A = this chain, B = another copy of it.
Amino acid sequence: MRLAVVGAGAVGRSVAELAGEYGHVVTAFADSTGAVLDADGVDVAGALARKERDGSVGEADPGDALTATYDCLVEATPTTLGDAQPGFGHVEAALETDRHVVLANKGPVAERYDDVMALAAESAGEVRFEATVGGAIPVIATVEGLDPGHVTAARGVLNGTANFVLTRMAAEGLDYEHVLAEAQDLGVAEADPSFDVEGTDAALKCAILANVLHDGGYALADVDVEGITGLPTSALELAAEDGRTVRLIGEVTEDGDVRVGPRLVPESDALAVAGTQNIVQLETTHAGRLNVSGRGAGGPETASAVLADVGRLSER
């Protein structure tokens, strides 16, 4: 399939680099300031070298990527809240011209799911977004396979940064600020970690899961969110005395409520994944509880979910 990859951060870059291995060709590649287009296939390595050298993948206008020759838009620009722009506009441009869309950007499906699905309903193109929930973990595909009507609830650890901080605090008895600084040194936490540690990132993923399970209707504002920023080390010590630990759990309840917050879980529980791992538990009507876990972030990991989605699209 011919791909237009919009966004050249860790995920967009990995998608462009790995596309050939999956039998696809990148015909447009854009970052925020430039783009490179070639209907026969962009020289991805050359484009990334140019970005390294000149700050952009190419000299074309980034908007030209959306009107280029391609079968599927890979939307990998940073997640934005509210109107989810400019990502939403990119999705709109692709669907209005009957092209497929695969999202790594959470904004459009977390904040404007119903708008995206309305556009898809009018388009010959399809929309997929496996990479938006749990990185490499096939959460959405698993829900689809079971059929959303047979999944009654979902919960999980959906943010690797917060989980790394909680794991280290519990294992070493260190305080929050100390572990966060360590995570920043290791590149596990960003310079501004608020999106992760305040629960926003996990909440967006839960809104997306709720939209899939309930056929839309959810946005970030519908999620009851509490982060881990105020959590004292003593809370983890008390939990440990009782064979438990604390995890930042996001959940879509059987009643359709969506919430994110620190919860006590037994140390031996499947939810007590360590470090930057993610896990999702699905409660089903006939198949009991299913657990899916793995790497919830990372360029190649998330790109593999994007490329799995591309593989699931109808041929054009």
Return chain B residues, CB-CB under 8 Å to A301: 286-288
Q: Which residues of B contact A137 (CB under 8 A)?
A: 290
Contact partner of A300 among B147, B286, B298, CB < 8 A? B286
CA distance A14 to B137 in the complex (A): 29
What are the interface flags for A254-293 relative to B under an 8 Å C-beta threshold, 1 for contact and 0 otherwise? 0000000000000010100000000000001111111111
Contact yes or no, A291 B292, CB < 8 A: yes
- Interface size range of chain A in the complex: 35 or more
Tell me which residues across on chain B come within 8 A of A141, comparing CB atoms: 138, 141-142, 145
Which chain B positions have C-beta within 8 A of A286?
14, 18, 136, 300-301, 303-304
- Copies per assembly: 2
Q: Is the CB of B136 within 8 A of A304?
A: no
Partner of A288, one of B22, B291, B294: B294
Measured between beta carbons, the chain B residues less than 8 angstroms from A312 are 145
Listed by A's residue number, 12 A-B pairs whose Cβ atoms lie within 8 Å are: A138-B142, A142-B142, A145-B308, A145-B311, A145-B312, A146-B308, A284-B304, A285-B304, A286-B300, A287-B304, A289-B295, A291-B292
With A136-B286, A288-B295, A291-B293 known, 14 other A-B pairs at CB within 8 A are A136-B288, A138-B145, A142-B292, A146-B304, A147-B311, A285-B304, A286-B301, A287-B294, A287-B300, A287-B305, A288-B294, A289-B294, A290-B292, A291-B292
Question: A residues engaging B (CB < 8 A)?
Answer: 14, 18, 22, 136-138, 141-142, 145-147, 150, 268, 270, 284-295, 298, 300-301, 303-305, 308, 311-312
